[in-house]
């Protein structure tokens, strides 16, 4: 049975910023649409198979790769909580601070 997905406010904003960046950068919305579709597919997948994500250094968090981004999430009995959609090219120290 699929678990309910809850996006944190920070993760929602990161997603919006990423999609807006690519739309502006490419002067087209086509890549943003494809990336958003990949994100949705990944979220649907982890809602059904939450243990699929790779365990992070923090044992309560898992990650799934979506293109050049990491979808970072936690799970409990009924829900998947999306903490961040993090660009893989960013400084990992910023991510540690973001998740504290």
pLDDT, one tens digit per residue, over 43-83 is 999 999 999 999 988 778 999 999 999 999 999 989 999 99
pLDDT at position 95 over 90: no
pLDDT-based confidence at 24, cuts 50/70/90?
very high
Angle at 11 between CA 92 and CA 83, to 5 degrees: 70
Q: Phi, psi at residue 34, to the nearest 5°?
A: -65, -45
Quick one: what percent of the chain has pLDDT higher than 70?
Answer: 87
Q: Number of structural domains, the chain? A: 1
Nearest Cα residue to 7 out of 83, 100, 74, 76: 83
- Identify the pLDDT of residue 1: 75
CATH number, domain of 59, equals: 3.30.2310.20
Sign of CA dihedral 30, 67, 19, 45: positive
Task: Identify the domain containing residue 55 by its residue range.
Answer: 4-99
User: Is-contact 42 54, C-beta < 8 A?
Assistant: no
Partners of 5 in the β-ladder: 80
Q: Which is it for strands 4-7 and 79-87: parallel, antiparallel or unpaired?
A: parallel
Question: What is the model's pTM?
Answer: 0.85
């Amino acid at each position: 049975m699929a678990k309910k997905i809850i996006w944190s406010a920070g993760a929602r904003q990161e997603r919006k910023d990423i999609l807006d960046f690519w739309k502006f950068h490419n002067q087209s919305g086509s890549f943003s649409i494809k990336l958003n579709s990949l994100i949705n597919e990944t979220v649907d997948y982890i809602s059904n198979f939450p243990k699929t994500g790779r365990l992070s250094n923090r044992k309560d968090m898992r990650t799934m790769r979506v293109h050049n981004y990491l979808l970072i999430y936690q799970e409990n009995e009924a829900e998947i909580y999306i903490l961040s959609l993090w660009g893989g090219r960013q400084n990992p120290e910023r991510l540690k601070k973001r998740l504290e």
